[in-house]
Every structure is written in C-alpha cells, then in structure tokens.
Amino acid sequence: MFTERRGGGRGEQGQATTETLVSMLFLMLFLWGTVHMAMFAISKTVVSYAAFYAARTAMVNGGSVSLFSPADIAGRLAMRNWQLETLWAMELKDRTSRGVTRRTVRAIATVPFGAPIFSMWIPAVFVYGNAPTVTDSVAESGDNK
C-alpha cells in the first residue's frame, strides 16, 4: 500500500527550516530592540534622579554644580546606585519652558548600548535629565521669619 506525501513534490523539503529561520530572525530583532528600549527608559529615569539629587544638594548648600562640588558629587553618587559609571557631565543651565525661564541642573550620561562592536558605529548615545533649582528669593515675612 502506498502512502501519499503531504507538502508537494521535490525541492520543498527545507521550506519549514527556512521559514523558521526567517521568523526567528525577526523575533530576535524584536527582543533585542525591547531590551535596548528598556535600557533607554532606565537610563532616562536614573539620570533624571541624579539631576534632581544634584539640584537639591545645590539648593541646600547654596552652591554651584561645578566639577567636584557637593552637588556634582551627590549626582554622581545617585548614578553610582545604578552601578554603571556613565555620568558624563553635570551643569547649571537656563531652560525656557512655556515662556518661563528657570535655572536647572542638567545631567548628561551615556547609555550602555549593545555589544562592544556597536562602539564603532555609535560612539555614544546621550540621555539628558533636568531638575529645576529655586532662584527666587523668599521674602522674610509670614512663616519665613
């Protein structure tokens, strides 16, 4: 008794393998992109926290955000909690938003991106974090005496 083969005739024996390889390629690309987008989101959150921490320290100490100032060290310590030394710079900058200009602390860090081979194509991807500082003087009246 003869059995009939499914899937057609000659030349179609490797079709399932080829389709699986193509599908796995897109799946791996999607997973790789998801991991990198998560790294961007985490980097942005941590850098914003470092800017907030530096701005708060600058307001309490009444100082600047120069290199090795208390505010700069506080921002670097906040980034150290992430255990990746990627903080590149910390600076005071005027920023205008909705017609209001505020003095902000700006933290700049690089994102750990991909395998080391990517450093040839994309040398650095930067993430910025901003936090406002108080520059207005508070009147010595009411509860502020």
Q: Which residue has the higher pLDDT, 86 or 130?
A: 130
**Which stretch of DSSP H or E encloses residue 83?**
none
Q: Which residues contact 102 (CB under 8 A, 6 or more apart)?
A: 94, 95, 96, 132, 133, 135
Q: Which residue has the higher pLDDT, 87 or 12?
A: 87
| Residue 104 to residue 7: CA distance in whole angstroms | 67
| Residue 63 to residue 48: CA distance in whole angstroms | 20
Which pTM value belongs to this model?
0.69
pLDDT band at 141 (very low <50, low <70, confident <90, very high): low
120: pLDDT strictly greater than 60: no
103: pLDDT strictly greater than 90: no
- CA separation (Å) from 65 to 68, 70, 136, 141? 8, 8, 18, 30
